A and B are shown apart, each in its own frame.
Chain A
Amino acid sequence: MKKLLQLSCEVPRKGGIRAIDGKFKIYFKKLTNFRICYMALMLLLCLCQFLAAIKIPITLGQLNKAKKGVELVAGTTHTINEEEEYYIGRAVAANILSQYPLWKNQTLCRYLNLIGKALVLKSERPEIFAGYHFAVMDSREANAFSAPGGIILISRGIIDMAENEDEIAAILAHEIRHIVNKDPLKAIQSQRMKALGTFAAGEALGSSNEVLNIFKNSVLDITGTLLQKGYSRGQEKDADLQAMDLLAAAGYNPAALLTILEKCRGIEKKKAKAFSAHPAAAKRVAYVGEALGKAPAIDMSVRNARFSKSVSR
């Protein structure tokens, strides 16, 4: 078979396909300086588009860096987004509050929210789906819980024990760090997330009851960890050490964590309950004391005055 196409860079000056003597020939235009410049410009623009395209993941990488420590539950097939975390957190808090009623003291609650918000703004996760909220449980046990999605509950027993604003801030900073680290979500058994992931991917049709059961069991996984089982020692130690950094960043005295833990140790010596699902206070006192640097000189006069005003025992 005859060759149909022949390439040529010669005349005619206008490019295109010509049929000559029954053969098709493709002619390219003569490469003038203008055309070379034009092609170079196009190549440059293509390169720009390529760079813009690969820059998007860089931006997302920066976003992830901004959310350091806010990774989703590892090893699961369903990833929990901000809104889902909020709804799980509401159910966890509702479950806890069915066992520990609220102390509806609005002056104290506002004071707690101001301390908590001052800390949160210095954390790596200051924005959360519906914001952080702090409240007091009407219980004389010394206890504190952080539900996913930013609900932090501390007991009246903690308020009784604290001698100043910085000590309350220390307890809140520890709980905030659990939320920033997404520790409560890590308490959910991975099998639940795998099952939910399967439903979501449409591999199997999950009925609304099956999904509700996964939701309920996930909530119970978390409340079981918060009220009884406790986080791992590593998670607790991280939360303590990071809480000290958070206190310092917000202008509170990091040594306040040590002083409040020493009070807990005192309670535990009397065999009373203090932070039932946390490691023994004595162990926490040891590593917190070790990590503590030189105490900064802090003027506490205004803080002490507002603490006395807001906290009625």
Chain B
Amino acid sequence: MKKKACLLAFLAMTALLLAGKVLVVQVLHAQLLAKPDFLSSNLATIQKGACLEIIETKGSWFLVKNADGLKGYVHGSALAGRGTSLSGIAPGKKGASEEELALAAKGFNEGNERKLRGSREYDFTAVDWVMAQAVANPDVGDFVREGKLK
């Protein structure tokens, strides 16, 4: 009985290691897409810091499974290796150790920007206006098709 339990534990550990290649979302919002193509349908939007299990790779694309078990494609530029980047860890969120947060706080962040706001040399109001000018991927898809682009 004891032997069987040990064997099962060993097998489970092996399966986890084989299947558990995990990458972390390093951008604010990554798209989980039906196909390895940005103009394919968006299955879900994944937030920064989410861990994704890698199923397979297709060029620059990763077929992944999210925490809800939903499978789809994410582009490699949205992902970072576990522990290779702090950008996926938001202060106060589960998963960030005190050491990691201290490190992140030493970098270039919102806190530093706040100290520059109000200075005549920096027009952050204009930057906020620029950031608000976003276009959605379906609109880009229509634009591409209409203009006979690729």
Q: Are both chains from one complex? A: yes
Chain A residues with CB under 8 Å of chain B are 42, 45, 48-49, 52-53, 55-56, 59-60, 62-63, 65-67, 70, 78, 80-84, 87-88, 90-91, 93-95, 97-98, 101-102, 104, 106, 109-110, 113-115, 117-118, 121-122, 124-131, 133-135, 151, 153, 165, 196, 199-200, 202, 206, 208, 211-212, 215-216, 218, 249-252, 298-299, 302-303, 306
Q: Given A98-B123, A104-B129, is A59 in contact with B106 using a C-beta cutoff of 8 Å?
A: no
CB interface residues, B 12-58, toward A, < 8 Å: 13-14, 17-18, 21, 23, 26-28, 30, 38-39, 54, 57
Report whether B113 and A251 are in contact in the complex, using a CB–CB cutoff of 8 Å: no
User: CB-CB < 8 A to A122: which residues of B?
Assistant: 150
Which residues in B have some Cβ–Cβ distance to A below 8 Å?
Answer: 10-11, 13-14, 17-18, 21, 23, 26-28, 30, 38-39, 54, 57, 59-62, 75-81, 84-87, 102-103, 106-113, 115-116, 120-124, 126-127, 129-131, 133-135, 137, 139-140, 143-144, 146-150
* Contact (Cβ within 8 A) A118 B143: yes
User: Does A102 lie within 8 Å of B54, measured CB to CB?
Assistant: no
**Which residues from A are CB-within-8-Å of B86?**
81, 83
A42 to B131, CA, bound (A): 56
Q: Are A212 and B115 in contact (CB under 8 A)?
A: yes
- Assuming A118-B140, A251-B144, is B126 touching A94 (CB within 8 A)? yes
Closest CB-CB distance, B24 to chain A, in whole Å? 11
Known: A62-B76, A91-B116, A102-B129. A129 touches B140 (CB 8 A): no
Residues of A within 8 A of B30 (CB): 127
A196 touches B147 (CB 8 A): no
Cβ of B133 and Cβ of A113 under 8 Å apart? yes
Is there an interface contact between A98 and B120, defined as CB atoms closer than 8 Å?
A: yes
Q: Given the complex, which residues of A lie within 8 Å of B75, measured CB to CB?
A: 66, 126-127
> Out of B17, B78, B79, B135, which one reaches A110, CB within 8 Å?
B135
What are 13 A-B pairs at a CB distance below 8 A? A59-B21, A78-B107, A84-B108, A90-B113, A91-B113, A109-B133, A121-B140, A131-B134, A134-B133, A135-B133, A165-B147, A196-B107, A208-B111
Q: A55-B21, A66-B75 are in contact. Are A95 and B150 (CB under 8 A)?
A: no
Cα-based distance from A65 to B61 in the complex (angstroms): 11
- Of B78, B79, B108, B135, the contact of A117 (CB 8 Å cutoff): B135
Main secondary structure of the interface of B (DSSP, over half): mixed
Q: Is the CB of A106 within 8 A of B123?
A: no
Q: Pick the contact of A151 from B62, B130, B137, B148 — CB < 8 Å? A: B130
Q: Is the CB of B76 within 8 A of A66?
A: yes
- Tell me if B77 and A128 are in contact (CB < 8 A): yes
Say whether A98 contacts B108, CB under 8 Å: no
Question: Least Cβ distance of B72 to chain A in Å?
Answer: 14
Q: Which residues of A contact B38 (CB under 8 A)?
A: 121, 126
Closest to B23 in A: A63
Question: Residues of B contacting A67 with CB < 8 Å?
Answer: 76-77
Please provide the 10 A-B residue pairs with the shortest distance between their CB atoms, ordered closest to farther: A66-B76, A251-B149, A127-B78, A251-B150, A66-B60, A94-B122, A81-B87, A97-B126, A52-B17, A83-B87
Q: Is the CB of B27 within 8 A of A130?
A: yes
Inside 8 A of B120's CB, which chain A residues have their CB? 98
Task: Find chain B residues with CB under 8 A from A153 CB.
Answer: 130
C-alpha gap A52/B54 in the complex (Å): 13
Q: Which of B21, B75, B108, B134 has the most CB of A within 10 A?
A: B108
